[in-house]
Structure 1
Amino acid sequence: MKRLLLAGVALSVATAASAADMQARPYTKAPPAVVSPAYNWSGFYIGAMGGFGWETDAGSGGFGGGTVGYNWQLPGSQFVFGVEVDAAGASIKDSFLVDVGVTQENKTNAFGSVTGRAGFAVDAALLYAKGGFAWANAKTSFTDGVITFSDSQTHTGYTIGGGLEYLFTPSWSAKAEYMYTSLGSETYKFDGQPLDSGSFDFHTIKVGVNYHFR
């Protein structure tokens, strides 16, 4: 009887120990995974662009040129920062009569900018704003049909705007962009006579393609 009692106690102890071992271990939640954007915009790029421009109260016309820039995107972030330089030949012009038989023509021959960019990337799409230094070479002429006086000057100022760029392959992107440009006054000389041009501004809508070096 004593042996049976001891055996029963031993069996109870063993069963209790086994049950303790079978208790569930505390559950530890795994840290959330960091999801990186599918595309990374970092690196140098070069491209071509063109479009249409118009002055606020004067002429209009087309332009075409090129772009070079660099983007920087922190891994795991959707924010993109960069710098961009562009330049274009243009034919934005306006002409009107200033006196009997005398016509004045104002023409923007070329313009460009050096800007900083800041954008937000959603995979292959980049929505951005940009702004910085701008310049334009302009020419003013007076003619009566026989004699013409003209002078060209380079104006400087600022530009600001933004656009949307889309990577349609890992290395090629297309963009559409609007920019507002404001430039300061310069003094033109016609037959030795100085004439202050006054400040002027113009707007541009451009489209372009960029090649990204990976």
Structure 2
Amino acid sequence: MKKFLLSSVAAIVLVGAGAASAADLPSRKGPVVAPVYAPIFTWTGFYVGANAGYGFGNVNAGTVFGGRTVSIGDLDGFVGGGQVGYNYQVGQIVLGAEADFQGADLSTGSNAFGDSVRTEYFGTVRARVGFAVDRFLPYITGGWAYGNVKTTIGGLGSTDKTHTGGYAVGGGLEYAFTNNWTAKVEYLYVDLGEKNVLNSGVKVGTDFSVVRAGLNYKF
């Protein structure tokens, strides 16, 4: 009986020692890695950017002294500038506001009488409404527009006026290729309204379309 008890105690000690040694051995399992979730992209935030494109449009005029009708023709040329704005996303709806300023080389050239119209800058302040499909954002936009119109009427002189009663409407598609950088293509119709030039009775109105590409950095 005594030998049996001693043998049992010895066996228990050996099993315990083996378990302790096993517990001290390094685990074959790797460290527990917490799951990594990619952040969900959002359009919410401020942004700044630059753009460049092409403008083309019309010049509407009237009649000068002596009954001569002013027919200046179409204008076209390069446009480029910068924009700043803010977007706020609710579900898939993206609401935003954007202001841009454009340098322009929009000109009609001169007709046979020396009449011409030129626009060297314009800008807009617009609202934007878009529908986000992950990183794609088709949108529509519209708001206020302003710009300068240099008008030359042959035999009467020239004038340079800033038109502030215009409007702009359009739409575009923007894509976020990183969480901070986005690229867009956009169409705008800009109407700068009419102004009387040189007290001649001629009201010159300028409207044009703009097709441009842009790059934005989102904060």
Is the shorter-chain TM-score for this pair beyond 0.5, marking a shared fold? Answer: yes
Q: Please identify, of 46-55 and 198-207, the stretch whose mean Cα deviation from structure 2 is larger.
A: 198-207
Amino acid in structure 2 at the alignment position of 1:118: V
CA contact 1:83–1:115 (8 Å) conserved in 2? yes
Identity of aligned residues (%): 42
Determine the structure 2 residue equivalent to 1:151.
Answer: 159
Query: Which of 81, 90, 97 is equivalent to 1:65?
Result: 81
Paired residue secondary structure (1:41) = coil
CA contact 2:85–2:99 (8 Å) conserved in 1? yes
C-alpha distance in 2 between matches for 1:104 and 1:128: 39
Q: Deviations over 1:44-97 (max 9, x none)?
A: 0000011000113511000111000000012xx111001000010101101233
TM-score of the aligned structures, taking structure 2 as reference length: 0.71
Determine the structure 1 residue equivalent to 2:132.
Answer: 121
Query: Which of 36, 40, 50 is equivalent to 1:38?
Result: 40
CA contact 1:185–1:196 (8 Å) conserved in 2? no
Paired residue secondary structure (1:178) = strand
Determine the structure 2 residue equivalent to 1:97.
Answer: 111
Query: Which of 47, 50, 61 is equivalent to 1:48?
Result: 50
Q: Deviations over 1:165-200 (max 9, x none)?
A: 0011110000000011122211222xxx43433333
Amino acid in structure 2 at the alignment position of 1:152: D
CA contact 2:197–2:204 (8 Å) conserved in 1? no
C-alpha distance in 2 between matches for 1:164 and 1:141: 38
Query: Which of 193, 202, 213 is equivalent to 1:196?
Result: 202
C-alpha distance in 1 between matches for 2:150 and 2:204: 13
CA contact 1:118–1:128 (8 Å) conserved in 2? yes
CA RMSD, 1 decimal: 1.8
Unaligned runs of 5+ in 1: 1-36
**Number of residue pairs the alignment of both structures matches:** 166
